[in-house]
Amino acid sequence: MPHGGVLRHVKITALALLLFFMPAAAWSDSKVVMTFGDSLTAGYGLPAPDAFVARLQAALRQAGRDVVVRNGSVSGDTTSGGRARLAWTLSGQVDLVILELGANDSLRGVDPAVTRRNLDAMLVELARRKIPVLLAGMLAPPNLGPDYGQAFNSIYPDLARHHGVALYPFFLDGVAARPKLNQHDGLHPNKAGVGVIVAAMTPYVLDLLDR
C-alpha cells in the first residue's frame, strides 16, 4: 500500500475506534440517566428489553423526554464494590444517577455502619461532580432481627436528608414478597414486577430531570 494510503487507513481506523467507544449520548443532546446498583437494576434473569434499564428509558421517552438510560449496575455488587468502582464508571456524560445499592449488604449481614459509610462516600463523590442523585432505598430482611433492621433501614432517609438528595424510599415497593411479581428465587422482580417499579419510580426521575 502506498505511504499515503497507509496514513489514510490509519486515520480511518483511529476514527472508527473513537466512534465505537464514544458514549451514545455524544451523538445527541439526550440527557443520560445512569443506574448504579446491583442485580435489581442490572436486570438479572431477564431479557434486556424486559429489564429495568430498557423499561425506564421507554417510560421516560413515552413521557416526552429525550433520555438515554445507561446500565452502570453489576449483579451481586455490594456498597463496598460500588464505592470501589464508582469513579471509573462515571465516564462520559452523566446527568442523573439512580443509586441503588445495599440489598446484597443486608443479605450478607454486613454491618450497617459499613453500608452507611460506603453510601455516604458515594454521595460525596457524586456531589463533588455535581451529578444529581435519586437514592433508591432498601429494607433489611426481617429475619435479621429488629436491631439490624432499624440500623439498616434508617441509612437511606438519613443520608438523603444529610446530602439533600431525592429519595425513593424502597426500590422493591409493591413487589417484594409478592410471588406473581418475582422470579422463582423470590428476590428478583420478573417482567411484571419491573413494570410496577418503573411505573412508580418514573415520576421521581421526571421531576429530577425537569429541575
73 counts as catalytic: no
Give residues with Cβ within 8 angstroms of 115, minimum separation 6: 79, 102, 105, 106, 152, 155
Is 82 in a helix, a strand, or coil? helix
Residue written as grid cell 454521595: 123
Catalytic residue among 30, 39, 73, 106: 39
What phi-psi label fits residue 45: left (phi over 0), alpha (psi between -120 and 50 degrees) or beta?
A: left
Give residues with Cβ within 8 angstroms of 64, minimum separation 6: none
Q: Which amino acid is at 92?
A: G
The total of other beta-carbon atoms located within 10 Å of residue 11's CB is 10
Catalytic residue among 29, 147, 185, 210: 185
Helices (H), the chain: 3-21, 39-42, 52-62, 79-89, 103-107, 112-128, 146-153, 155-163, 191-210
162 counts as catalytic: no
188 counts as catalytic: yes
C-alpha distances (whole Å) from 137 to each of 5, 28, 156, 196 are 57, 32, 5, 16
Round to whole Å and give the CA distance between 180 and 190: 8
The residues that are catalytic are: 39, 185, 188
